[in-house]
A and B are shown apart, each in its own frame.
Chain A
Amino acid sequence: MVRRSQNHKLTLAVAVLMCVFVSIDGVSLNDLLERVSQLSDKLHSLSTSLTNDLDSHFPPYGGRLMRPSMCHTASLQIPNDKDQALRLPENELLSLARSLLLAWSDPLAMLSSEANTLPHPERNAINSKTRQLQDQTNSLGAGLERLVHKMGTSSEVLSSLPFNSNDLGHDKISRLVNFHFLLSCFRRDSHKIDSFLKVLRCRTSKMQPDMC
């Protein structure tokens, strides 16, 4: 009898400790998903704002005529519509998001270094926002890593999306044009990431019914 009670007590203590550890471990899955969704949302909003700053003095039509045809992340196979996107499993969604995000770490670094000397009237705002963009991208990357661990998905090999350009160009026009083009590519890719993560948010977590 005494031993049983002791066993009971021991079990109870272990259970309590485990609960504590779980709680100490940190953010729950729901909260983590919510957090990464919010981060991606902010990221896209920032890129949109940066694009607007560029377009305020940059004739969009003229720039389009001269820009390169494809973003460096175009080779990544992504769903084109909702049906395709909803068919993807969570890990693929997450993998896509992570791949895209990873593909932009180098270009964003280059954009940050170039934004300083960009021949644009809104250079200061553009410069600060570009730096924020870089920081938020890194944060999101870290969050996605934790999410991967949280979700327990198998660590899939991320697609490699190399970025080969070292700079934006040498002349003023080409630098502006390339900057604008890269930013537009990032804006789209950030939208993709945000969309995928929000789908992921509503699918895997037990969110409140009125949210999803």
Chain B
Amino acid sequence: ATMWTDSVMLAGLTLTAIFVSHTAGVSAPGRPRLTGCRSPEKETFTCWWEPGDDGGLPTTYALYYHLEGSETVYECPDYRTAGKNSCFFSKNNTSLWVNYNISVVATNAMGSSVSEPVDVDVVYIVQPNTPEDVRVLVVDDDPGPYLHVSWEKPLAADTQSGWITLVYQLRVKETSQDTWEEYNAGMQKGYNIFSLLSGREYAVQVRCKPDHGFWSEWTSPAYVQIPDYMLREHSMWIIVAVFAGFLLFVLTWTVNVKRSSVKHCLLPPVPGPKIRGFDPHLLKSGRSEEMFSALVTQHFPPTSSYDDLLVEYLEVYDVEKQELVLGVKNEDPLAPTRTSDNDSGRGSCDSRTLLTERYAEDGDKGGADRQLGQCVAELASPPLEEEKVEAWSTPFSPPPLHLQRQQVGGARAAYHSVLEIPCDSPCAPGSYGHQGESDISKPGGRGASTTLAEPQAQSAEYVEVQTVDHENVLLLRPLADPGGPDVDYAGEDYSKIRDVIPDNVLLLQREPSAWPCAADPGQDRGERSCPTALQELMQPCKPPGPLQQGLRLVANGYVDASAMLC
């Protein structure tokens, strides 16, 4: 009973003490923990622990160990060498190839606690110190400088005897970058690093490891600056660039000098118009005759058999109302003078169409004059007629005429084929002859009177142009002026058409001045056996027989060739 009460009291006291201690805030220390052990050279080693809760009281720590296969417990020989919470095992205390069973005990006023035991074999925990004396050297070389890194073994490691075998590793990094480049150097104590950028700063670190152990810590970085070696390469490129620039300059200058030919080559000019036979250089020389002569071709303008159809017309207008249309035939190219023309027999279709009859319209104007039967031919447009006369006189078109002309000899008078002389009053030659003089516009000349056919009959009569006065008035006189003393046929020869050759050639027959009497004017167009026309003309406006339509009766036996040609 006493023992029971004693144990109860003891338990109660213990509980009270625990309770009291807890309420006071103090307790036994918490369990420490061994964090690790390391041997730098496989000769000594150090163990570290971290303390647990100290329980509010000063706590002491003790490390105890015993060797494998032995029960003897030893305490740590050295707590100081390796620092706080550490235990350093010197050479004498270090055995290899044997397990150490190590534990740490924390003790304070309230109690103590033991850490977890740790088994350590020293040969398995070797971690050397960092390599010593790391040096980085920039070595100049051909393509560029390289780094030569050298170092020494850690101080304590005995590699000389082969007791510890170390392998090394280094790493390089540009100071501004983040990634390291690692290199394994094996057992050598130097290494070359190539292909580093010029002008940059690099950091180098080295570490080592035993053959069976842990890597050491990295050495503190060694900084090195790579020199600017690109200058050497730059100078070459500068030379190349200058040379290329010079070549480019020369090329550009050449192209510039020859730009016209280059332009001609690249953009060939569009050929301009050319005239065959026309040499523009002649223009420069200023001799236009040569130039134009080249232009003129032999056969231009084209002429043909119908050249004789070309007719230039001389428009002759009546002074007052009547219009006289005279056709000036331009058939004599080679007759420069008016007097030598005897082509009065020619005519043309076109000339016919140009005839206009105006007299019908005019009615009874100028009745007195009409009655007088005087038709004064006036040139309508003086200047034009002059031209035309001139033209007629000097024909423009040179081509030869098919008509064979036989000079009847001395036909001096210029004959105009009067295509139509509309006159609304019968013409009385006789009355003309006498009274025409007074009405003649020109006082000086002989009265030009024309024998007019009936107005409706568009027959042509030939008149003879006496003169052209200063007012550009043609003074005409009928060829068949019966009564006119001024009719002077002296010395005039008239051609009589003998025959017409098929290709529109009139054969003129020379006849004595006295025309024979025409039997029948309408018999034959082409032939006149006798000059009845003249006699008819001599008779005052007696309409010759049956007026043949289409037959152009002309005085003096002339046949209007135009009818035939039509």
A residues lining the B interface (CB < 8 Å): 41, 44-45, 48, 64, 69-70, 74, 78-83, 85-86, 188, 191-192, 194-195, 198-203, 210-212
Check if B43 sits within 8 Å of A81, measured CB to CB.
yes
Query: What distance in Å separates the Cβ of B194 from its nearest Cβ neighbour in chain A?
Result: 21
Which residues in A have their C-beta under 8 angstroms from that of B124?
Answer: 191
* Least CB separation from A41: chain B residue: B211
- In the complex, the answer to whether B121 meets A44 with C-beta atoms within 8 Å is no
**A-B pairs with lowest CB-CB distance, top 6:** A202-B162, A199-B162, A80-B95, A198-B162, A82-B163, A82-B43
Known: A70-B69, A81-B91, A210-B188. A86 touches B97 (CB 8 A): no
Q: Are B163 and A86 in contact (CB under 8 A)?
A: yes
Contacts A80-B97, A188-B97, A192-B97 known; 11 new A-B pairs at CB < 8 A: A41-B211, A64-B119, A78-B97, A82-B43, A82-B158, A191-B123, A191-B124, A195-B123, A195-B163, A199-B162, A200-B162
Chain A minimum-CB-distance residue to B94: A81
25 A-B pairs with CB atoms under 8 Å apart are A41-B211, A48-B212, A79-B96, A80-B96, A80-B97, A80-B98, A81-B91, A81-B94, A81-B95, A81-B96, A82-B43, A82-B163, A83-B91, A85-B163, A86-B163, A191-B97, A191-B212, A194-B211, A194-B212, A198-B211, A199-B162, A203-B161, A210-B187, A210-B188, A210-B189
- Name the residue of chain A whose CB is nearest to the CB of B153: A210
A80 CA to B94 CA in the complex, in Å? 8
Measured in the bound complex, the distance between the Cα atoms of B95 and A81 in whole Å is: 6
Across the interface, name the chain A residue whose C-beta is closest to B159.
A212
Asked if B33 CB lies within 8 Å of chain A CBs, one says no
Give the residue of B95, B119, B158, B212 whose beta carbon is less than 8 angstroms from that of A45: B212
Which residue of chain A has the shortest Cβ distance to B189 in the bound complex?
A210
Interchain CA distance A81-B158 in the complex, whole Å: 13
Chain A residues contacting B162 (CB-CB under 8 Å) are 198-203, 212
Q: Which residues of B have CB within 8 Å of A83? A: 91
Q: What's the minimum C-beta distance from B129 to chain A, rounded to whole angstroms?
A: 16
The answer to the question of B528 belonging to the interface, with a C-beta cut-off of 8 Å to chain A, is: no
With A and B bound together, what is the CA distance between A100 and B443 in angstroms? 177
- Contact between B96 and A212, CB atoms less than 8 A apart: no
CB of B42 within 8 A of chain A?
A: yes
Interface size on B, residues (CB 8 A): 26
Number of A-B contacts (CB under 8 A): 65
Q: Which residues of A contact B549 (CB under 8 A)?
A: none
A residues in contact with B161, CB < 8 Å: 82, 86, 199, 202-203, 212
Residues of B within 8 A of A212 (CB): 159-162
Query: Could you tell me the distance in whole angstroms from the C-beta of A62 to the nearest C-beta in chain B?
Result: 13
Chain A residues with CB under 8 Å of B94's CB are 81
- Write the B151-184 contact mask toward A (1 if CB under 8 angstroms, else 0): 0000000111111010000000000000000000
- Are B163 and A69 neighbours in the complex by a CB distance under 8 Å? no
Measured CB to CB, the closest approach of chain A to B65, in angstroms, equals: 15
> Which chain B residues in 235-255 approach chain A with CB under 8 Å?
none
**From residue 181 to 224 of chain B, which have CB atoms closer than 8 A to chain A?**
187-189, 211-212
Inside 8 A of A70's CB, which chain B residues have their CB? 69
A192 to B163 Cα, complex, angstroms: 11
Q: Assuming A198-B162, A210-B188, A212-B162, is B43 touching A188 (CB within 8 A)?
A: no
Residues of A within 8 A of B98 (CB): 80
Q: How far is the CA of A79 from the CA of B96 in the complex (A)?
A: 8
Q: Please, which residues of chain A bring their CB within 8 A of the CB of B165?
A: 198
Q: Give the complex CA separation of A45 and B91 in angstroms.
A: 26
Could you tell me the distance between the alpha carbons of A191 and B123 in the complex, rounded to whole angstroms? 8
- Give the residues in chain B near A198, CB-CB below 8 Å: 162-163, 165, 211
Q: Find out whether the CB atom of B163 lies under 8 angstroms from the CB atom of A199.
A: yes
A78 to B98, CA, bound (A): 11
Per-residue 0/1 for B34-52: is the Cβ within 8 Å of any A Cβ (1 yes, 0 no)? Answer: 0000000011000000000
